[in-house]
Chain A
Amino acid sequence: MEELKFESIAEIIECANKSQRKVSEIVLEQQANQMEISQAAVFDKMRETYSVMVQSVESGIQPGVRSVSGLSGGDAYRLLQAGKNGKDISGGVFFEALVRALAVSEWNAAMGCIVAAPTAGSCGILPAALLSFQKQYGFSEEDCVMALFTASAIGMVVANVAYIAGAQGGCQAECGTAAAMAAAAIVELCNGTPDMIGHAVSITFGNVLGLVCDPVAGLVEIPCIHRNASGVANALVGAQLALAGIKSLIPADETILAMKRVGDAMPVTLKETAEGGLATTPTAKTLYTQVFNAQEGTACRDCNGCNS
Chain B
Amino acid sequence: MNVFDIVGPIMVGPSSSHTAGAARIGFIAGLLLGEPAVCAEIKLYGSFFKTYQGHGTDKAIVAGILGMKPDNPKLRDSLEIAKAKNLSITISQANLENAHPNTAVITLYDAGGKSVSIQGASVGGGNVEITRINNQPVSFTGQYVTLVVIHRDVPGTIAKVTEKLSARRVNICNFRLSRNQKGGTAVMTIEVDGTLDRDVNDSIMKLPNILHSTLIMPN
Contact = CB atoms under 8 A, between A and B. Distances in A.
Interface residues of B, number: 47
A152 interface: yes
Contacts of B123: 163, 165, 168
29 contacts: A6-B1, A31-B2, A35-B2, A36-B194, A46-B4, A49-B8, A69-B54, A118-B16, A119-B15, A119-B124, A121-B14, A151-B6, A152-B7, A159-B124, A160-B1, A163-B123, A164-B124, A166-B17, A168-B101, A174-B124, A218-B50, A218-B55, A219-B55, A220-B55, A271-B47, A272-B51, A273-B101, A274-B51, A291-B54
Interface string A157-184: 0011001111110000110000001000
A155 interface: yes
A116 B51 contact: no
B146 interface: no
Contacts of B122: 165
Contact of B4 (A6, A45, A114, A295): A45
Contacts of A31: 2-3
A173 B124 CA distance: 10
Given A35-B2, A120-B20, A121-B16, A115 B51 contact: no
A275 interface: yes
A3 interface: no
A251 to B, nearest CB: 21
B125 interface: yes
Given A272-B47, A272-B51, A120 B14 contact: yes
Contacts of A167: 17, 46-47, 101-102, 124
A268 interface: yes
Contacts of A272: 17, 47, 51, 101
A303 to B, nearest CB: 6
A114 B125 contact: no
Task: Tell me which of B8, B10, B14, B55 has the highest count of chain A C-beta atoms within 10 A of its own C-beta.
Answer: B14
Rank and list the top 3 A-B pairs by shortest CB-CB distance, nearest first. A165-B124, A218-B51, A108-B13
B3 A149 contact: yes
A101 interface: no
Contacts of A168: 101, 123-124
Task: Tell me which of B4, B15, B123 has the highest count of chain A C-beta atoms within 10 A of its own C-beta.
Answer: B15
A30 B123 CA distance: 24
A303 B48 CA distance: 11
B13 A112 contact: yes
Interface string A270-308: 011111000000000000000110011001001111000
A225 to B, nearest CB: 10
A121 B7 contact: no
Interface in B153-206: 193-195
A217 interface: yes
Given A42-B3, A49-B7, A219-B51, 9 more contacts: A35-B2, A111-B76, A116-B8, A119-B126, A167-B46, A272-B51, A274-B54, A302-B92, A305-B51
Nearest to A304: B50
A111 B56 contact: yes
Interface in A208-261: 215, 217-221
Nearest to A154: B6
A185 to B, nearest CB: 10
Interface string B1-31: 1111111111111111111100000000000
A146 B11 CA distance: 21
B54 A219 contact: yes
Contacts of A42: 3
A99 interface: no
A78 B219 CA distance: 36
A10 interface: no
Contacts of B2: 31, 34-35, 156
Contacts of A112: 12-13
B71 interface: yes
B53 A296 contact: yes
A97 interface: no
A164 B125 contact: yes
Contact of A156 (B1, B11, B47, B76): B1
A117 B7 contact: yes
Nearest to B57: A218
A119 B17 contact: yes
